[in-house]
Structure 1
């Protein structure tokens, strides 16, 4: 019997179709971190209090998602229709997240955590298609990944295939998933455990190891 959790598509996408999907996905994925970081930045200025490290992590998340987008844009340039759709989608998503974060940061971080989970599933499906040879160009070990990706992730020699690149990007999404689920469980004035000393043996928590996030008592002393 097939595992109901298995990620199986009825029909594999082509490389071009995947690029359309990934460019659209990453053009939207960079919004939540920027919205949350901006609002916490303004709150810190307004209250004249330190943010306890949240802003740094949120803006880094947004920057990381933008690097995903720039990487895929080295492989394909969207046309005017897609650019229009991205503008409209970004406008709706930004304003919706802006209002939601003002009302409930906890709910927003939890929602983003689930979005990142879907991103992990998307890249897992893509890796499966590459491994099965459904994407001949990307399955080719000699396929050149963009130089921007090599420099950003510092891809070592022998680890510069498309499969390697997607694994790095999926790992980023797994980090964002764990971080947002963890932040959802914290109080707004709690220190960010991902830039602070972890109370257990001085170690920082690893969000990849906790897909559903850490509980507050695990990371806040």
Structure 2
């Protein structure tokens, strides 16, 4: 029998303490989103994941686009920001494709997805355009909450309150999981992805916090 996916190291306790007004606004915004998500989805973590990943796939694409345009305008190297952000967007899209197969959202939930994405895209675009540091901090806090949500999802599965169904083939192919992988294995690798995005976006926000003379051609 193929050994299940285990041993993925994720520090679920990582939290960037808000420093200054920008961080507090970002943190408060994410906590507000978390409040509504908790009320709307309760413990339906599969459906929560679908909407979460719909939103999570937006920032990387927006950031990559605006960083690309900025690099062209300033005729300078992007130091890998564009590729990192676009890879993040693709990774989050694969999360969405995976959980759509698991949760099978109904028509109403699909409408919620479309409306949420439309609103969030426009809001995030202008936020990144005028305040990229805050935008990256929003994503960092958003991913902190994602790590917590997926940890809770794992606890529900381990407690037997959610079925540990077979992993969708799309997830097995994308993460190169064992052929007999289950939902729990998928959540482990997704949570690891989210922790990586959390750390990258907090690091980018920290770089943008530095005084201009301390930056080495960062955004």
Q: TM-score range by the shorter chain?
A: 0.7 to 0.9
Distance 2:179 2:110 in 1: 35
Q: Closer, same or farther in 2 for the Cα pair 1:24/1:52, shift >3 Å?
A: same
Q: Are 1:65 and 2:92 counterparts?
A: yes
Aligned mate of 1:166, from 176, 180, 187: 187
Query: Would you say the 8 A contact 2:57–2:88 is kept in 1?
Result: yes
Report how many aligned residue pairs link the two structures: 174
Q: Distance in 1 between matches of 2:109 and 2:94?
A: 19
Contact 1:53–1:191 under 8 Å retained in 2: no
CA RMSD of aligned residues (A): 2.1
Secondary structure, in 3 states, of the residue corresponding to 1:30? helix
CA contact (8 A) 1:30 1:66 kept: yes
Distance 1:101 1:25 in 2: 19
Structure 1 gaps, min length 5:
193-221
- Residue of structure 1 aligned with 2:166, choices 123, 141, 144: 144
Distance 1:191 1:116 in 2: 26
Q: Does 1:94 align with 2:94?
A: no
Per the TM alignment, residue 35 of structure 1 is displaced from its structure 2 partner at its CA by 0.8
**Map of 1:16-27 to 2, 5 A cutoff?**
17-27=44-54
Q: TM-score, normalised by structure 1?
A: 0.72
Q: Which runs of 5+ in 2 are unaligned?
A: 1-12, 14-37
CA distance in 2, matches of 1:174, 1:65: 12
In 1, Cα distance between equivalents of 2:176 and 2:133: 34
Larger radius of gyration, structure 1 or 2? Answer: 1
Find 2:196's aligned residue among 168, 175, 179: 175
